[in-house]
Amino acid sequence: MKRSYSLKNTGTVMSFLLPSFIGFSIFVFAPMIMAVVLSFTNYSGGPKFRFVGFKNYVMAFSNPDFLSYLFVTFKFMLISVIFQIGLGLFFAILLSKQFRGCSTFRSIFYIPNILSSVAVGLAFMFIFEPSSGLINEFLAFIGLPTSKWLASEKSALNVIITIAIWQNFGYYMVLFIGGLQNISTTLYEAAEMDGANKFKQFIHVTIPGLSPILFYGITIAIIRGFQVFDYIYIMTGGQQGGGPAGSTNVLAFDIYLNAFTYFRFGYASAESVVLMLIILFVTYIQNRGQKRWVSYDVV
Amino acid sequence: MMSYNLKKRRMHVIKLIFLSIVAIVVLLPLIIVLSSSFKNESEIFDFPFHLIPRKTILGNFEQLIDTFPIYIFNSVKLTVTIVLVQLVTAATGAYAFSKLTWKGRDFIFGLYLASMMIPMQAVMIPQFIIIRNINLYDSHGALVLLGAFTAFGTFLIRQFFMSIPNTYSEAARIDGAREWTIFLKLLLPMSKAVLVTQIIFSFRFFWNDFFTPLIYITSPELKTLPLGMTDFVREQYVYWGPQMAAALISIIPVLIIFLFGQKYFIQGVSSSGLKG
Amino acid sequence: MNLKKLLFISSISFLTMGLLFANGSSEESDSKDMNEGPVTISYYTWDDGCHQALIDEFNKTHTDIQVDGHILASADYETKLTTLLSGRADIDAFMEKRQSDVFSQYENGYLEPLDSYIEATGSKNQAVENFKSAVTIDDGIYQLPWRGGAYFTYFNKNVFEKAGIPTPDTYVENGEWTWEKFEEVSKAIHAADSSLIGSSIYMWGSQAFFKAGQEGDSIVTADGKIDNIENVVDILEMRKRLEDEGAMWNLIDMKVTKTHYSKQFYDGNLGMLLIGEWFPGQMVTGAADGLYDFDFEDWGITRLPCDREPYYTVGLPTSNCITSYSKKKQAAFEFINWMSGPEGSAIAAKYGVLPAASSEAAKQEIAKNLPDEKSVEYFLENRNNNTANFSPYATRVETEFAKLQEDYLLGNLTTDEFRTEFIDSLEEIIRTTY
């Protein structure tokens, strides 16, 4: 009796799991394992390669550039996550209740997210142009000092972070609007009857109700932040080696250069594995922390 | 009462003004793209930037007429297919990871999450070798198979399912409902908002995806829109005008999906009474 | 539980390993069916009108061999080609875009040596002879060049007239067109009228190796030794002096503003541009599209500045390769050999491309794209060609150099610091290449 139940149960689980698991194991997991294996070789794209043990890892950690890429990556991740999530949440709350024109504002804030990266690259080039770009003209007009923006190793990374925030806060806004729709209005009514003000409602109703999606958003933002590649690639000229004097070189950019420009796939794989482990670690910490603030059952 | 209403209206006006200012700032880059798509190659790079082209031309759009209809058709076909496949795999997977209990569940889910964390550059070549070995190189099938699984989507829908109290599904189970019935009849209707969010995100992702088509598609008649834009990137020269025109055109379908999907965001509110 | 996990992971990885390395074996059988009808070869190149025309013309004039051309986007062609070769995609021959990739392809055994095929034709291949050092690896020939590579000084006659100084070809004739003279002339133009820019050297790392190439330095030699870098330092110092005065286009500015060298020249206030042999083609299309205001006769071509006798230019040819795993090598060779020969070069010339081995017909075609007699003479003269930084280390050297060059131009490094850091990074590159 028990056996047949568990067999039936296995069948049910399989019927839900398999559609995604087949694609996952063949096209995602298997290549991932391959990448891990290759990180212990001197693979350069061809059949002739040999195992080199931990050499790639040792090389990475003894290279001061690698550590500086890690630092830049971390900085990018931290700042962009804070602003993307913060602005996303702010505008989601402003625009979650229906009013005339709210749909237009939602669309406008989401548009940057749709725009192709080539167009983004060109548009921001005009805005941040060092001599007569729009920002500098504006700053000069209101009497503030101008900057060299992308042309200076001091500000280039901040410019790129700004662009990333501009393009992505709309994504998180949409995500959070979707999540906010799920919080029952009766909860707010009950809170109001208890005499809770707007701020208290936000802390005691909005945040707990949104927390599963908020947790998702933060996790995704962290992962994307760590893996940032395209902004660096577009804004600083792909093979011309990144921003001024290497100031914007993030780890994923170095991985790309090593894999497809220098043919050092083994080393690139090792860098990838290190990046994966770091993200895994950060996500793990965050996952441990979620028990304190993410509530799955309040709604 | 009067003054309360007045105060509320004043707040609303301030909110609208604030949102409008932000909207203008957010749209500025788009306006630059719009203006550039009507300029010739030399004028695009004139400084300082001027909004109205000195010589307005339609040539950038005319250059798209021959090839882009087929690219757009391919993109629509592929994106719609992938979005639908993803919706099925992500929703069923999410159900298995949130509402069913089985041995190894958290371990497999952990692997799903880990797969989001390895950089794409590291798995590109192994993926290609697998696709080539099943003879799908230079076909749309390769793109569909590679896009069939989404860790992001599975994770998103799982998070949402987790927030739906188990009491609903347990009550249904006691009534003798099968898991698929609970999934299709109970959970999915409650999850419209998140399903729409997932559709919007995965639509946008494949609509703009450049690297996967770059690697797997070679024949011109199979190209997608982002790949087609590189028609104007020549060895020694990049034609920006037609690319800006194409970028403008490519916003439209995603915007339509987005506006259409918004309807369901409101429905989410009205149906929420169900759960109170 | 843990054992199960381990079992699960290892079975999947074995499955993948099988998929990864079992490829190719199943296709060995069907190789010798050359006699039935025309042989179709699979050829990969990037999007360019000239490449399409070459394939079309070959297919029209040949019945026994047909070329199935796969024309890829020019952007990221290298990334895609690498992936294709790693996956042993069906490629018989391909065109090489980033020349230094040839070393890695050779190391991985993707390339077929062409010596025996060339010998079998019974005569020397002129294109190979013209660029021998650029196509030879370990005494074998692995590439057939079809497009020549050479850098020139392009100048705007109006700018020189405004500044009241003679055009660079005057100095070439007197045998005094040295790098020192180039600097002097650049400054003189800007000094005469501050709205004029003396000269522009583009942002690619390779552009800083002009003098090193002419003098025969390799930066890093093929066997992993650091060569003389003083000629690199010379050009770098000159660049900084000129940029500081405003006499040269600022490198970091042109990078962040994506200002193309053609746009710089089209604007009409740039005196001299040092760029490659493809530029006349861009002047022709630029005129057709009305992208510049001066007349077609107002610009000219002459030699690159050079400190040594006899004159040397720099530049790499563009070549074709045959894959080692192709089953139609002879047919593939006939196609790429035709492309390098007189018929191919005549078509290339029609598109404003300088062929690797020029024929009389090609020369007449090319002359149509040039502004005057003197320019034709300098463009087509017999000259020596050297290349700095052409080694398995080349791409990494270029990227590392670009980074340090920016640091130097920003004023963060003194010349001595640049020297030390450059040597350090070269050592690092050599040490970590295996």
ipTM of the complex: 0.86
Q: How far apart are CA A294 and CA B149, in angstroms?
A: 26
pLDDT of residue C165: 94
A45 to C12: CB separation less than 8 angstroms, yes or no: no
Nearest to C252 by CA among C135, C405, C138: C405
Across the interface, which of C82, C204, C205 has its CB nearest the CB of A45? C82
Nearest to C429 by CA among C131, C138, C195, C100: C100
Residue A105 near chain B (CB below 8 Å)? yes
B107 to C5: CB separation less than 8 angstroms, yes or no: yes
Nearest to C204 by CA among A132, B235, A229, A251: B235
A20 to B89: CB separation less than 8 angstroms, yes or no: yes
Residue range A48-59, pLDDT digits in tens: 788 999 999 999
Q: Which CATH architecture has domain A56-293?
A: Orthogonal Bundle (1.10)
What is the homologous superfamily of the domain B64-275 according to CATH? MetI-like (1.10.3720.10)
Q: How far apart are CA B150 and CA B135, in angstroms?
A: 23
- What are the backbone angles phi and psi of residue B50, rounded to the nearest 5°? -125, 140
Average pLDDT over residues C136-153: 93
Across the interface, which of A10, A38, A174 has its CB nearest the CB of B200? A174
- What are the backbone angles phi and psi of residue C145, rounded to the nearest 5°? -70, 145
Q: How far apart are CA C375 and CA A210, in angstroms?
A: 71
pLDDT of residue C1: 46
Inform me whether the pLDDT recorded for C387 exceeds 60.
yes
B231 to C47: CB separation less than 8 angstroms, yes or no: yes
C85 to A46: CB separation less than 8 angstroms, yes or no: yes
Inform me whether the pLDDT recorded for C8 exceeds 90.
no
Residue C80 near chain B (CB below 8 Å)? yes
Chosen CATH of C151-314+387-431 out of 1.10.1060.10, 3.20.190.10, 1.20.1250.40, 3.40.190.10 = 3.40.190.10
Inform me whether the pLDDT recorded for A4 exceeds 60.
no
Residue A273 near chain B (CB below 8 Å)? yes
- What are the backbone angles phi and psi of residue C17, rounded to the nearest 5°? -55, -45
pLDDT of residue C7: 60
**3-state per-residue secondary structure call for C21-89:** HCCCHHHCCCCCCCCCCCEEEEEEEECCHHHHHHHHHHHHHCCCEEEEEEEECCCCHHHHHHHHHHCCC
Residue C287 near chain B (CB below 8 Å)? no
The structure tokens listed for B149 are: 């699984």
Inform me whether the pLDDT recorded for C185 exceeds 80.
yes
Mind telling me how many Å the CA of A154 is from chain B's nearest CA? Answer: 23
For chain B (length 276 residues), average pLDDT per consecutive 10? 76 92 92 90 78 86 91 94 95 93 90 90 88 89 92 92 84 88 90 89 88 88 89 79 90 86 62 38
Chains in contact with B, where contact requires at least 3 CB pairs less than 8 Å apart: A, C
pLDDT higher at C228 or A154: C228
Inform me whether the pLDDT recorded for A5 exceeds 60.
no
Q: What percentage of chain B's residues is helix, strand, coil (to nearest 5)?
A: 75, 0, 20
A244 to C252: CB separation less than 8 angstroms, yes or no: yes
Mind telling me how many Å the CA of B219 is from chain A's nearest CA? Answer: 22
Q: How confident is the model at residue A109 (pLDDT cuts 50, 70, 90)?
A: very high
- Domain coordinates in residue numbering, chain C: 38-147+317-358, 151-314+387-431
The structure tokens listed for B25 are: 């700032």
pLDDT of residue B195: 92
Pick the residue from chain C with its C-alpha nearest to B43: C291
Inform me whether the pLDDT recorded for A152 exceeds 90.
no
Q: Which of chain A's residues have a Cβ under 8 Å away from the Cβ of C15?
A: 30
Highest mean pLDDT among B54-58, C53-57, C369-373, C398-402: C53-57
Per-position b or e across C35-63, b if 16+ CB within 10 A of its CB: eeeebebbbbbbbbebbeebbebbbeebe
- C14 CA to centre of own chain: 42
Highest mean pLDDT among A80-89, A198-207, B231-240, C66-75: A80-89
CB atoms within 10 A of CB B62: 11
pLDDT of residue C197: 96
pLDDT of residue B80: 94
The least confident of A188-192, B22-26, C163-167, C425-429 is A188-192
Please, what is the Cα angle at B47 between B44 and B49, to 5 degrees?
A: 70
Q: How confident is the model at residue C15 (pLDDT cuts 50, 70, 90)?
A: low
Inform me whether the pLDDT recorded for C357 exceeds 90.
no
The least confident of A132-141, B110-119, C156-165 is A132-141
A114 to B197: CB separation less than 8 angstroms, yes or no: no
Inform me whether the pLDDT recorded for C305 exceeds 90.
yes
pLDDT higher at A283 or C24: A283
Q: How confident is the model at residue C143 (pLDDT cuts 50, 70, 90)?
A: very high
Pick the residue from chain C with its C-alpha nearest to B227: C73
pLDDT of residue C32: 44
Q: Which of chain C's residues have a Cβ under 8 Å away from the Cβ of B39?
A: none
Q: What is the mean pLDDT of chain C?
A: 88
Q: How far apart are CA C326 and CA C24, in angstroms?
A: 11
The least confident of A220-229, A235-244, B144-153, C22-31 is C22-31
Same topology between domain C38-147+317-358 and domain C151-314+387-431: yes
Region for residue C175 given its phi and psi (left: phi exceeds 0; alpha: psi -120 to 50; beta: otherwise): left
A246 to C403: CB separation less than 8 angstroms, yes or no: yes
pLDDT of residue C29: 39
pLDDT of residue B2: 55
Average pLDDT over residues C46-64: 91
C19 to A261: CB separation less than 8 angstroms, yes or no: no
Q: Which of chain B's residues have a Cβ under 8 Å away from the Cβ of A109?
A: 22-23, 26
- Domain coordinates in residue numbering, chain B: 64-275
Q: How confident is the model at residue A121 (pLDDT cuts 50, 70, 90)?
A: confident
Residue matched to tokens 């939602």:
A106
Average pLDDT over residues A126-142: 84
Q: Which of residues 392-421 of C touch A (CB under 8 A)?
A: 395-396, 399-400, 402-404, 406-407, 410, 412
pLDDT of residue B271: 41
Residue range A161-185, pLDDT digits in tens: 999 999 999 999 999 998 887 777 7
For the domain bounded by C38-147+317-358, which CATH number is listed?
A: 3.40.190.10
Q: What is the mean pLDDT of chain A?
A: 86
Q: Which of residues 94-133 of C touch B (CB under 8 A)?
A: 97
Q: Which of chain B's residues have a Cβ under 8 Å away from the Cβ of C282?
A: 236-237
A72, A271, B179 from B73: Cα distances, Å: 40, 38, 38
Inform me whether the pLDDT recorded for C95 exceeds 90.
yes
Mind telling me how many Å the CA of C263 is from chain B's nearest CA? Answer: 7
Q: Which of chain A's residues have a Cβ under 8 Å away from the Cβ of C252?
A: 151, 244
